[in-house]
Structure 1
Amino acid sequence: MSSHLSADRSAAQPPQRGSVDALISQTRRLRGEVDAVRRDAPVDGADPHGRWQRALCDLAVHQLNDLDEHLAQLRDGPPPVPVQSAAGPAAPAVPTAPRHGSLLSRVGSAEWNLLTDEASWSGELYQILGRDPAAPPLTLDELPSLVHDEDRPMLTAMVTDCLIDAKPIDGEFRIRRADGGMRTVHMMGEPVLDADGSTASMWAVLRDVSELRRSQRTVSETRDSLQRHRHIAQTERRLAVELQEAVLPPWRGSLRFPQRGPETLDLAAHYLPSSSSALIGGDWYDALELPDGDSLLTVGDLTGHGVAVTSGMAMLLGALRGMAVAGTQPGQLMAWLNQLLDASVQPALGSAVCCRYRPETRTLTWAQAGHPAPLLFRNGTGRALPTPDGVLLGATSGAAYGQAEVTLEEGDLLLLHTDGLVPRRWGSPRPGEAGSDEAAVQRLLDLAPRFDGARTAQDCVRTVVEEFGESEREDDACVLVARVGS
């Protein structure tokens, strides 16, 4: 039988063993590094990004394992394997069969002699195709009988191009094994020419790439899943932003109450999104001039992120506005908001502070539900107002909420904020210092001298944003500033 060489070229010299050993060492080192990345990848099956990362690492490790064994075979040379002929008796059994799943068990070779119609297969090819080693090898005319119906035309075209036009073979097809299994085989080969340049035989190397293709499909599927997840997240964020913008007060910059007559309150507010989440949270701020001349000031936070949370925030803020317009006092208003949240279809927790300001007497009446107290700044110093009783909204049924009252003075500045404004890293106390919440509030109180020098409420909000706007916040935040005028 002809050798696996075209007549117009000589055999290539084998590579130097030392250079191949160096490549093997590099491959194994890289495989170890990729495997370390795979072990560090998230194992949460519900996370599309984590699944995609692990699938890519698995595919890379799989390919590097194959490369390692390819290089080892290149260094050591092919093992002695028996070859059977269609016209001759079966060769003796291989003394040591390649281990199942190794590269050698997944790479086989074959040659078909066109002059004698003889075929010869390596023992590995029998194993790949699921054929009985005692059976004669299939001829080129018989080979398509193993191939999946959809792939037969492709195989026929490749073989025809090789035999007639001397084109090399490089393609994949699926084969059905006798045990009913389906395998994907990659076939590479070329014609063997005689002295006259005519095709005398065709040889090929066939590799079982089923596991590799399965890994690649997993990567593709997890990538598609990740893309769908990102698209859903982007859509949800857009909807949440649109809902939030529709619900939060339409005013930007400064606002003055009452809108007609003497200026009594100078107002400004700002919303700061989370730096660690792409989704919108349930934070709100609001200022509303009520029918009796009072002013409503409120900030709050519904736990969680996304459209459902933003929708719940819209429900609470709408109810709060309606009850305030109807004349409900802050303590009772908190109790009814708690009842509303407790009875909602999707249970949630929320915190809020609600203030009602009467300009004639400069009286501030307020209540809170598990929320930071308002901060009062006067004459260059600041303090937190004494906090009346009040648990988180939705935490317990039938909760009662206390109410506090304070008289403000001209020039006083009131600051309301949600707890995401000051990052936790700012609130981490040193030994012997106050707890994290107290330290966080103190950081706001330290801005008192700058507030005292500010001309407007908007300037004060700008000061807060400059101080905390670039910080790494784990949650959304709101700040509302009200300055008492004449």
Structure 2
Amino acid sequence: MPSPRSADRPAAPPPGGGPVDALISQTRRLKGEVDAVRRDAQRDDCRPRQRWQRALYDLALRQLDALDAHFAQLREEPRSAAPPALRADPAAPGPGSLLSRVGSAEWDLLTDEANWSAELYAILGRDPAAPPLTLDELPSLAHPEDRPRLTALVTDCLVDAQRIDGEFRVLRPDGTVRTVHMMGEPVLGPDGGTVSMWAVLRDVSALRRSQAAVSETRDSLRRHRRHEHSAPPDRVEIGPAVLPAWRGPLRLPRQGAGTLDLAARCLPASTGPLIGGDWYDVLELPGGELLLSVGELTGRGLAVTTDVSMALGALRGTALAGTGPGQMLSWLNRLLDGGARPALGSAVCCRWRPARRTLVWAGAGHPAPLLFRDGTGRRLSAPRGVLLGTTSGAEYGESEVALAPGDVLLFHTDGLVPARWRSSGSGEAEHRGAPQAADPLLGLAPRLAAARSARDGLRTVEEEFGETEREDDACVLIARVES
């Protein structure tokens, strides 16, 4: 950590408690008004616009609750030379309250001593008996991707006497991740030199989740409006009934290592009155393994929707029985080929083994998954496998790939990239082992590497391909290895 130098201005003293009571009254009155409007909104119908408005009301109430709690903490603390938030309150509220989400710390640069409040230990998930971290050790708390940001915040405070005001993610010892907002200032001695630094840290994880929910609801409203104006009832109602019920981000398995952060979406075609046969699916299996599948069947309308439901049921049933991806596709091929109404299609089927962080997968004439790692991307080498429904008794090979935390997998159906964007003959080049630079999805590698979640990665894909004129429906599934 750089050594401190003199600051040209004194640190601002903490606010006094005189006008705090008035601020508390104003905040609580505003909370009551917002809550009354929200209750009125709850009596409205459940159209997407009303859901979005209610989500905004809920977020506003969360922020007002936090503001009320901070004002109450200011009023209850006695005045002293040190910032009030730096002293732990023995009567502090228990875990889960708003006050328990705010902690504080002070670092003495002359003695190299550190003082943390009890609430800060709870926020960071550290043993209260352990000594507080020094400024040099502080960046080790942050998520690896956020350590440079935390180091810069502290350095600017000590060297340039700048106030600290920023957020970073904390990787707790139990493996969970929290988002923390940090505010602080340098404390100057009589000679104008920096003698210590104090900071207040607030756990804003719940608030950020609320903001994400508002954003997701807003996106849902936009999609609903687009579908209402461009799609008939079967596209709006039948399609979502076939695909998995979960919306937005999903983290599986729910226990143990090898967690995948997942997000998926189906993008409708710009033309055509009927829904197509594209699907995505994720299922947690006994023992913690996951089934991931993406595929499409030929045809449009109610008939192909029925076939997709049958295919999803077959894949899920065989996966629950412990079958490998290659055998699952072989049986699905036999099912489609021998039915009363034969169907053609393609698919990728995977089993995620979290204990070893390996993906075992098989493909049936479908675009292979893309793997993004360290800012670069490549399409996985596909094992043998023909289109579904074309050859009786077809066998499908399997491939296994080891993944690491931070890796991103992208599964998609053919319609994601419009035909005019594809390089002619690029598919033949892939089979011959030629470079895949012509694949426009690989150009997203730097942005997907910088994405903090599967949801962010999905938004990156949507920004690039979501609003384009597409001739066919498309499904995209993003999986990010978290731990």
Q: What is the TM-score with the length of structure 2 in the denominator?
A: 0.49
Q: What is the TM-score with the length of structure 1 in the denominator?
A: 0.49
Work out which of the two has the higher radius of gyration on C-alpha atoms and give 1 or 2.
Answer: 1
